[in-house]
Structure 1
Amino acid sequence: MLNLLKHLFSGWAWKMAWRDSRPVRWKLLLFSASIVFGVAALVTIGSLRENLTDSVSSQAKSLLGADLMLSSREPFSEETQSVIDEITDDGGVEAKEISFTTMLAVGEDAAPKLVTVRGLEPIFPFYGQVKTEPEDAWQKVQQSPGLIVEASFLKRMNGRVGDLAKLGEKELPIIGVLRQSPPSGSGFAAMSPTVVTSIDVIKDSGLLGARSMVFYRSYFKLPKTVDTQALAKANREVLGEQRVRQVTSQKRSENVEEAINRLYLFFNLIGFSALFLGGIGVAGAIHIHISERLQSVATLRCLGCSAARAFAVYLAQCIAMGVVGTVAGIVLGSGFVYLLRWVVASLPAGLLPFAVEVAPVGWVIAKAAGVGLLICICFALLPLLAVRQVSPLAALRREEAAMKQSGRDPFRWLVIVALVALAFGLTWMDSHDAANGWKTALGYIAFLGLAFLFLLLAGKLLRWLTSLIARPSWPFVVRQGIASLYRPNNQTGLFMVSIGLGTFLIFTLMLMQSILLQWLDPVRLESKPNLFLVDVPPEQNAEVGKLITDTGVKMLGNAPIVQMRLTEIKGQPVSELVGPDVKDGKRIPRWIVRREFRSTYRSELTETEKLSAGEWVADYQPSADGGVIPVSFEDGIAADLGLGIGDEVTVSLEGFGETKKLRVASLREVDWRSMDLNFFIVFPPGSIDDYVSFNVMAAHSPSDESTAQLQQAMFKRLPFVNTIDLSLILKTVQSVLSAASKTVQIMALFTVVTGGIVLVASILAGRRIRIRESVLLRTLGASRKQISQILAVEYTLLAAMATLAGSSLALVASVLLGNLVFDGESYQVPWGLLFTSIAVVISITVALGMLLSRGIASRPPLQILRSQ
């Protein structure tokens, strides 16, 4: 090794590498392009991730608008108020918020829409700012009753600033439009438009007395001397018992950074895939290059050059290839970053919750350069190791004999292990999860290994099958085209990987889109709820039902809701089961203490449920069980609580001051994706009928007109009943999925373009061999047309097998995913789209191969024979 390094760093090796590359220099530059897009992807994605995380870190407090937030579904208790008083007595400043969801309409004719109304005190936010149009709207709304709404909501309402909107019992003017909303402590704020007003307007709206989902929040600006994390930890037990949630600015930024890291890992794996595919292209190209230079190596050996010195010459060429490809990748990736910078700068104000300065990051560029160079060199070493085993006698032998010796070289396995370790280490490091990141890294290595192995085996299968089924009676051009697949120095395996992997990625994304489109197909959703009516008073069930029927909407379900909290599990208070010191029994998640369970009663299972254990109880008989109510628990929540059949729990009925003992009579599997009336706990009829707080109704509206008619009628009669229009949410989901899909497709293009470069490089690398073969065929009497047809047969078979192998992998993945998503429902594979796409890929590959092979059949035989 030391001897090799000495020769590698000598001037002679680099001079010989430069001279030896003269006739093929342009090819080596093309081979180096195989890693350009992989390096560019790493630079782009890594820089963007660093820019985002730096922005989040520097503006962490602006994401929450405060140092600390306390949130509760109920007005703060005396115990919670005592904690608040201690914080303010120590120099903290408090700003209050009351928020809830409700229906809001602007004007008389517009159908009301579900919005999130936030009542805020004027001193909030402590960090960041609220941007409105006009600029003084935030101050005006604090001085006189009014509303500030999102521009998109006002546009849907065909309204304008100055119009009146009805909020509960009040008619309020629209004072302005939000350009940048106040920071929100809720993760659900994006599910509905935000409406901002003063906290006094909220209190006077008359909606807090209704059964709305009200949140009470207090935001705090703390002195710089106060450790926010330590303060939250000190109050965790007291606030936990009061079911009050704490969020610090550090925690909020950590959550955002975690989401960024997950997205970064996904996209970075695509970049790694492109880089590894480029490495395979480099290996194939170097294999051809070295096979053509073995005679030169043997000549050097005859002149007294050592094996290490000869090896250093061609290793220098590979390092130069890697440097050129890496530098080009850095330049291209930096260009993409500046393009993203322009895109971000052109986004509307307020679209992003924080300012982002997009620019290339130095250490990310250095890391991408190192990774690209290492992968290029490692893959190049696989065929390059053959140079070490070339003896001087090889000058008199066939070069193929010398190449075969490299297969027994133990250093090849060392290089392969190094490549696997490099991929594993980089993926683990980029996962930013020391505990579970190795699982992601192992899964990625397994994915790459299985995909490459499958495609390589498919190539071997193609060669074996074609050699097995070829018949002398077949046309000459067909037999010769088939024979080209298993001739010496063939590139069938390289073609299979480069075309197959790119096809697999693109077709997988295409089929995933098909799955989502089928899942969201309006025809499929005709029997599913697309409207939910929440907070329906039990005494007005009939009136609401009549309004639904009169507007042509179909009622699909009506669930009475009983609100409760778990107080004991198997005789132990839940507060004793959430701490870190739990010894006896199962420790339960902390959120169980704060959660308000909204349960129902019914006599039978629904279509989205399946009994997994125990016996379903359809009727409650108090005398049969001593007053203990037999209930059905959902599987997941039962597992979290450590409950089995026959176990008992105690619940407190919210608003009634009573407790009930429950016995787990059955367990259910629930399809939570169904967007239906699903519940964690289901009671038998007759057990809790007298404790209903409100009803939730599910319905299906056949058209937007029917939905608007129902919303208008409901808003006029019962304004506190919230109508959740799932069709709007589905449209939002579809737009988000569409944008995400386009982003993923753009990232997948890095891999596809790399595969195309590898394909071009491999075709050009084998051009010399094909010219020699065509000359021999022409010498034996073959015409130019026949030689072109032979090439067309070879490329067609290669493209067809590679595309079919890649599409088969994508099809298997889509079927597994489709069955998982549809869970027993019929997932229809889009065969027409799939076959059309396969035909397009095959046609493009064959056309590209024939274009790059142009002129092979026209070379004069005498010119080639003289060169031999």
Structure 2
Amino acid sequence: MSVATGEIAVLNGKRQNEPLDRVAQLRLALRFALREMRGGLSGFYIFLACITIGVGAIAAVNSVAAMMSDGVTREGKAILGGDLRLALVQRPATAEELSFLNGLGELSQTQSLRSMVRLMDGSDQSLAEVKAVDKAYPLYGSVGTTPKRPLTTLLAKTGDGYGAIAAQGLYDRLGLKPGDTVKLGDLTLTLTGVLDREPDLIGDGFALAPRLMISEAALKASGLIQPGSLIGYHYKLKLPPGKRASVAEDETNAKFPQSGFQIRTSRDASPALQRNIGRFSQFLTLVGLTALIVGGVGVANAVRAYLDSKRGVIATFKSLGAGGRFVVTVYLIQIMGLATLGVLLGLVLGAVAPFLTARFLEGVISVPAEASVYPGPLVLAAAFGFLTALAFALIPLGRTRDVPATALFREAGGSGGAPMRWAYLGAAIALALAISGLALLMASDKTVALIFLGGTAAAFLILRVVAAGIAALARRAPRVRSTSLRLAIGNIHRPGALTPSVVLSLGLGLTLLVTLATIDFDLRREIGMGLANRAPDFFFLDIQSREITPFRQKVEALAPGSKLNAVPMLRGRIVKLNGTDVGKIKAPAKGGWVLRGDRGITYSGTVPENSTVTEGQWWPKNYAGEPLVSFAAEEGSELGLKIGDTLTVNVLGRNITARIANFRTIEWENLGINFIMVFSPDAFAGAPHSWLATLSIKSDSEAAEKAVVNGITNAFPAVTSVRVKEALSEVNKLIAQLALAIRVAAAVALISSVLVLAGALAAGNRGRMHDAVVLKTLGATRITLIKAFATEYLLLGIATGVFAIAAGAAASFFVVDTIMKLPWVFSWTVALTTLVVSLLLTVGFGLAGTWRILGQKAAPVLRNL
């Protein structure tokens, strides 16, 4: 200490030049900080782990999201199929439109629809996503096939039909192999190969079934093209050098303002995928931020424990004349230096995440993932890490400023009771607000981010109240005869008790674990069981108007007594609201999906099933007047619509403007026939259209369902049958991938909680050492102390686990019921598992740390009391 004494004395002698003194103080503080850090990282391993996990989670999630987004952008032309993609539904482009598009650049035409592929003997069939391509396809990218032959050769006309290639899934469903023949509509197809890679697959959107690729000529010969059939016509352009896609888009819209073209450029090759990547990365980033904030509690515990062990050094500094600011500066340098190490370790994890996940993600989203280091996500994660470390370190540092010099002679004095300076508390609050502001700034959905952050802040406050409540109950508990139980109850409410630290440390992580596990459970239950039980057994598409009566008769013959519901259906896109082009309207986050792409629409003289008019009046049964429309109440409210407003939809290349006559609630949950927009019958008088039907059969047997599909498909080859169970199976695959990410997020939160709990218990070991030594000196046995400490940890674990179950249930109810609009069911398996985990963690970590303390010799401790 002689060197330190001299340096501080010299420093105290330089008060004449205050600016120089501050610089000198900073230099001296840095020297002392570096000297003390030579002793290693003892006591800071949990600190480092908390920062590393939180920063690593945020950096990894955003780096992987950036890699996926870059892949979509980089391969945008191949994913889109061209520089510009124009789509029409239910009608092909006119000769005039085709002539104009050909003048813009090289043109490729494809058609897509869902239809049934049947075995030649009609004994089995499968839904397929049919894609008809021309000789120019693909303009960008390449099609991968087995065997490797030119696409025109594989799809060429054969002796009795045409060639076709199919994804492996279609071969597996029907037990086929290359060379076999199948029926598509009225056409015989020979399967000439396996479709391994399709460059514009994700640009076509979500697929319910395996791909079947045929030629344009084959589709024309199949008999599937009927008036009103749900066929998508896609026109992909490869523009000449120097021609900008945005210019070509503007020219097309100006030339054909009512064409109904949906136009996308390579910059938004797969907007749905990009939105989903953004939403999912936001969700996981918020979970990672929560894990980081939970880790912040561990930072505070570690800093408090470290500073508690340095009371003698701090008191020595003050005895030699050092001020409180100097002491804080010394230890702030140390803490932020260690935080820098933790942030760097986390950034390493985030940087390598794209390289570890690239191959896996390619198999999931079919986008070539080229791993790289992404500075933006790393900077964001580092900012969160430094802000969190500083925010949680300031409070124990603020108390350290006022440690009295007498603590040098009374080691048990501690600083825990020192008053908190408002400047440090205010700075910590300001940093917490900065963290929240940064999270809101990077969030695509501000509402969700605000709810998430508000919930985390509320959880902190509530857990503080819960800890105070547990201590109050312990304080008022009746006196018990058991010594160990009496000691345990006393330890819960005594000054310096572990109760606030344990409840806060474990409560946040377990609450998040219960919330995520319950959401996962409800999603799987609803998709796997709930929807399957409430939904109809089949959807039938592309029923022609001339076929609807014989179709009803055939269904009655195949499944007597079953419930059939059939309605006319067209496809249309909202192009104007109250006369304003939707492209000029800033769509809200919630209802904006209604304005993107085409929607199914229908007409009806009566209120549809599963709907209830909530505002306005339904039109008379034989109404004949201006076109009227009934709009979904929730979506209408989100878009700010009201009775009397007008909307314009483009159907079959014609704009139709209708006035909103009423709003109605819709029961989406049963997967029945529901439409956002239902028009008055006169609105589409004479328009060609098909019918949509649902069927719920009495029998639940596979044989009965198969008989219905076979009978309908063989009798009406152009009608598409969608078995709901198979469609839900595809959705379940997506849910499984989502559930995996949710479990990983829950695991990160739990690991952070475990680390924080370990830190909290370690921070209390010093006080426990004094208690154990004094009690042993007064005659307590090791068994008595073990029982007391185990009982204390058990009571804290039960209390924290019960709170986490209740809070997690409430949070999951809000997410599932309010946001997802799904039935909420609480899983008692999740609750009991959480309680068991809580007990194992608190008792296990508590006794692990206490066991070493119980073996401490009394003399060294008593000498310092």
Give the whole-Å Cα distance in 2 for the aligned partners of 1:831 and 1:589: 37
Aligned counterparts, 1:684-723, within 5 A:
693-701=689-697, 702-723=700-721
Which of 839, 843, 847 is residue 842 of structure 1 equivalent to?
Answer: 839
Give the whole-Å Cα distance in 1 for the aligned partners of 2:515 and 2:629: 43
Aligned counterparts, 1:95-244, within 5 A:
95-108=108-121, 111-136=124-149, 138-144=151-157, 145-184=162-201, 187-209=204-226, 211-244=228-261
Deviations 1:452-482 (A, max 9, x none): 11112211111122112x2223422222112
CA drift at 1:839:
2.8
Matched letter for residue 663 of structure 2:
L
CA drift at 1:836:
4.1
CA drift at 1:263:
2.1
CA drift at 1:747:
2.4
Give the whole-Å Cα distance in 2 for the aligned partners of 1:133 and 1:179: 7
Give the whole-Å Cα distance in 2 for the aligned partners of 1:323 and 1:98: 56
Q: 1:288 — aligned with what?
A: 305
Matched letter for residue 246 of structure 1:
I
Q: 1:738 — aligned with what?
A: 736
Which of 591, 610, 613 is residue 611 of structure 1 equivalent to?
Answer: 613
Matched letter for residue 538 of structure 2:
L
Secondary structure of the residue aligned to 1:43 is helix
Secondary structure of the residue aligned to 2:193 is strand
Aligned counterparts, 1:528-567, within 5 A:
528-552=535-559, 555-561=562-568, 563=570
Residue pair 1:34, 1:757 contacting (<8 A) in 2 also: yes
Distance verdict in 2 for CA 1:810–1:687, change over 3 Å: same
Distance verdict in 2 for CA 1:268–1:136, change over 3 Å: same
Matched letter for residue 463 of structure 2:
L
CA drift at 1:527:
4.7
Distance verdict in 2 for CA 1:51–1:704, change over 3 Å: same
Q: 1:599 — aligned with what?
A: 602
Aligned counterparts, 1:464-483, within 5 A:
464-468=472-476, 470-483=477-490
Distance verdict in 2 for CA 1:277–1:100, change over 3 Å: same
CA drift at 1:11:
6.0
Give the whole-Å Cα distance in 2 for the aligned partners of 1:738 and 1:578: 39
Which of 418, 422, 442 is residue 430 of structure 1 equivalent to?
Answer: 442
CA drift at 1:245:
1.4
CA drift at 1:361:
3.5
Residue pair 1:99, 1:215 contacting (<8 A) in 2 also: yes
Give the whole-Å Cα distance in 1 for the aligned partners of 2:68 and 2:817: 36
Distance verdict in 2 for CA 1:127–1:649, change over 3 Å: closer
Aligned counterparts, 1:187-586, within 5 A:
187-209=204-226, 211-252=228-269, 256-334=273-351, 336-341=353-358, 343=360, 352-362=365-375, 364-365=377-378, 367-395=380-408, 402-425=415-438, 427-431=439-443, 437=446, 439=447, 441-468=449-476, 470-520=477-527, 522=529, 525-552=532-559, 555-561=562-568, 563=570, 576-578=579-581
Secondary structure of the residue aligned to 1:355 is coil
CA drift at 1:305:
2.9
Residue pair 1:603, 1:685 contacting (<8 A) in 2 also: no
Unpaired segments of 5 or more residues in structure 1?
583-587
CA drift at 1:72:
1.2
Residue pair 1:561, 1:692 contacting (<8 A) in 2 also: no
Give the whole-Å Cα distance in 2 for the aligned partners of 1:662 and 1:97: 32
Distance verdict in 2 for CA 1:576–1:832, change over 3 Å: closer
Distance verdict in 2 for CA 1:596–1:737, change over 3 Å: closer
Distance verdict in 2 for CA 1:235–1:3, change over 3 Å: farther
Give the whole-Å Cα distance in 1 for the aligned partners of 2:812 and 2:595: 36
Give the whole-Å Cα distance in 2 for the aligned partners of 1:567 and 1:306: 70
Distance verdict in 2 for CA 1:59–1:567, change over 3 Å: closer
Give the whole-Å Cα distance in 1 for the aligned partners of 2:54 and 2:839: 24
CA drift at 1:109:
5.5
Give the whole-Å Cα distance in 2 for the aligned partners of 1:581 and 1:343: 39
Distance verdict in 2 for CA 1:772–1:650, change over 3 Å: closer
CA drift at 1:222:
0.7
Deviations 1:146-190 (A, max 9, x none): 111111111111101011011222101001111111415864452
Matched letter for residue 465 of structure 2:
L
Residue pair 2:315, 2:407 contacting (<8 A) in 1 also: yes
CA drift at 1:86:
3.5
CA drift at 1:524:
6.7
Secondary structure of the residue aligned to 2:43 is helix
Matched letter for residue 829 of structure 1:
F
> Please, which moves more after superposition, 517-526 or 243-252?
517-526
Deviations 1:763-809 (A, max 9, x none): 12222211210111111221111100111121112212222222211
Residue pair 1:13, 1:309 contacting (<8 A) in 2 also: no
Give the whole-Å Cα distance in 2 for the aligned partners of 1:385 and 1:2: 23
Q: 1:585 — aligned with what?
A: none
> Please, which moves more after superposition, 720-729 or 177-186?
177-186
Aligned counterparts, 1:618-697, within 5 A:
620-621=621-622, 632-635=630-633, 666-682=662-678, 693-697=689-693
Q: Is the counterpart of residue 831 in structure 1 residue 831 in structure 2?
A: no
> Please, which moves more after superposition, 303-312 or 190-199?
303-312
Matched letter for residue 425 of structure 2:
R
Secondary structure of the residue aligned to 1:853 is helix
CA drift at 1:755:
1.2
Give the whole-Å Cα distance in 2 for the aligned partners of 1:16 and 1:591: 60
Aligned length: 836
Residue pair 2:524, 2:735 contacting (<8 A) in 1 also: no
CA drift at 1:736:
1.3
Q: 1:810 — aligned with what?
A: 808
Matched letter for residue 136 of structure 1:
R
Matched letter for residue 775 of structure 2:
L
Deviations 1:555-592 (A, max 9, x none): 33322316497999xxxx9895427899xxxxx99988
CA drift at 1:400:
5.2
Task: Among all aligned residue pairs of Structure 1 and Structure 2, give the percentage whose two residues are the same amino acid.
Answer: 22
Give the whole-Å Cα distance in 2 for the aligned partners of 1:5 and 1:527: 73
Q: Is the counterpart of residue 53 in structure 1 residue 69 in structure 2?
A: yes
CA drift at 1:142:
4.3
Q: 2:747 — aligned with what?
A: 749
Q: Is the counterpart of residue 785 in structure 1 residue 783 in structure 2?
A: yes
Q: Is the counterpart of residue 70 in structure 1 residue 93 in structure 2?
A: no
Distance verdict in 2 for CA 1:520–1:263, change over 3 Å: closer
Give the whole-Å Cα distance in 2 for the aligned partners of 1:596 and 1:528: 21
Distance verdict in 2 for CA 1:109–1:838, change over 3 Å: farther
Deviations 1:656-699 (A, max 9, x none): x9x99987664311123431112345578999999784432211
So what's the TM-score if we normalise by structure 1? 0.87
Give the whole-Å Cα distance in 2 for the aligned partners of 1:840 and 1:593: 45
Distance verdict in 2 for CA 1:784–1:398, change over 3 Å: closer
Distance verdict in 2 for CA 1:3–1:197, change over 3 Å: farther
CA drift at 1:811:
0.7
Residue pair 1:620, 1:629 contacting (<8 A) in 2 also: no
CA drift at 1:85:
4.2
Deviations 1:824-843 (A, max 9, x none): x9744223542343234323
Give the whole-Å Cα distance in 1 for the aligned partners of 2:528 and 2:270: 37
Give the whole-Å Cα distance in 1 for the aligned partners of 2:144 and 2:810: 50
Give the whole-Å Cα distance in 1 for the aligned partners of 2:344 and 2:658: 68
CA drift at 1:270:
1.7
Give the whole-Å Cα distance in 1 for the aligned partners of 2:571 and 2:33: 82
Q: 2:861 — aligned with what?
A: 864
What is the Cα-based RMSD across aligned positions, in Å?
3.7
Give the whole-Å Cα distance in 2 for the aligned partners of 1:667 and 1:709: 40
